[in-house]
């Protein structure tokens, strides 16, 4: 359906999450291939979320290209005595477009609660960075029939500090914990069913949120991307290990078209 006047179109996105991988030379090679291949169509946004130390280098490598860059986390605090933390404002000083927030690896290894995630989301919005809010259930939660309850709660708390106007600017990523790094992607039907649930939850919070982009992440490969991305409520992907391989990432981006 064509968007009505005043209604925003749903964006398509392919974002790479490098996690704690890479070093200067390998990063330069990867970024140069992305830059040289300009793997972008007008209606798709492509970005890479890199380790903090390489954000400046990534900005220098990608400036002037269509590929955007982001970080994998931000502090829940604005500034001050928080040793080792990086604020959203610092990230925006490096022209960062995206920040992953609430990734399951942060929730699991760093004890991030939904309330901390909500503060991080707010910090991003205050600094004009698009927060990519990651939600996802464990295998136990799925098998006990609680997946939607878990991700519905993660989403609603993550948005709880935002006005409806602010909340329009987020991206949501559905990343089932059991599919991350396991080689076992959720099936296209499972992904569509969950994305449809998330879209309804967004619209229930406010009609204005029904066009928020919802990405799928979890063992997406070039071979599986097209079928996943063509589900009606899937707006693209958050790609882990396959984004470290330039050829594979470009093929995944192509699957968005």
Site for ligand 13P in 6-45 (CB under 6 A): 17
Please tell me whether residue 252 binds ligand 13P under the rule CB under 6 A. Answer: no
**Which member of 180, 186, 209, 252 binds ligand 13P (CB under 6 A)?**
180
Beta bridge partners of 98: 70, 130
Q: Does 240 bind ligand 13P (CB under 6 A)?
A: yes
Which of 47, 102, 218, 236 touches ligand 13P (CB under 6 A)? 218
Euclidean distance between the first and the last CA atom of the chain, given in angstroms as a whole number: 18
Binding of residue 239 to ligand 13P (CB under 6 A): yes
Q: Determine the Cα–Cα distance for residues 204 and 69; give it in Å rounded to an integer.
A: 31
Closest to ligand 13P by CB, 34 or 242? 242
- Minimum CB separation of residue 145 from ligand 13P in Å reads 24
| Cβ nearer to ligand 13P, comparing 121 with 205 | 121
- Distance (Å) of CA 119 to CA 43, 73, 75, 114, 199: 30, 12, 9, 9, 22
Residues labelled as active-site residues: 103, 175
Query: Binding to ligand 13P by residue 238, rule CB under 6 A?
Result: yes
Question: How far apart, in whole angstroms, are the C-alpha atoms of residue 178 and residue 195?
Answer: 17
In the complex with ligand 13P, which residue's Cβ is closer, 39 or 217? Answer: 217
Residues that bind ligand 13P (CB under 6 A): 17, 103, 175, 180-181, 217-220, 238-242
């Amino acid at each position: 359906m064509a968007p009505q006047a005043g209604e925003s179109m749903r964006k398509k996105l392919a974002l790479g999450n490098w996690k704690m991988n890479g070093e200067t030379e390998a990063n330069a090679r990867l970024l140069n291939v992305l830059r040289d291949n300009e793997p972008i169509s007008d209606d798709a946004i492509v970005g890479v979320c890199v380790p903090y130390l390489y954000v400046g280098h990534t900005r220098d490598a990608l400036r002037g290209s269509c590929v955007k860059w982001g970080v994998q986390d931000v502090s829940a605090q604005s500034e001050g005595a928080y040793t080792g933390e990086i604020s959203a404002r610092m990230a925006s000083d490096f022209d960062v477009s995206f920040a992953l927030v609430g990734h399951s690896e942060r929730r699991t290894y760093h004890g991030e609660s939904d309330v901390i995630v909500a503060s991080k989301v707010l910090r991003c919005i205050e600094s004009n960075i698009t927060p990519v809010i990651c939600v996802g259930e464990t295998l136990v939660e799925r098998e006990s029939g609680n997946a939607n309850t878990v991700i519905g709660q993660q989403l609603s708390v993550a948005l709880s500090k935002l006005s409806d106007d602010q909340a329009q600017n987020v991206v949501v990523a559905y990343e089932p914990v059991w599919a991350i790094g396991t080689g076992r992607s959720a099936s296209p039907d499972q992904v569509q069913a969950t994305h449809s649930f998330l879209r309804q939850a967004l619209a229930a919070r406010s009609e204005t949120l029904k066009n928020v982009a919802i990405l799928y992440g979890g063992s997406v490969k070039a071979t599986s991307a097209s079928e996943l991305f063509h589900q009606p409520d899937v707006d693209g992907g958050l790609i882990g290990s396959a984004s470290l391989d330039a050829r594979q990432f470009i093929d995944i981006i192509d699957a968005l078209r």
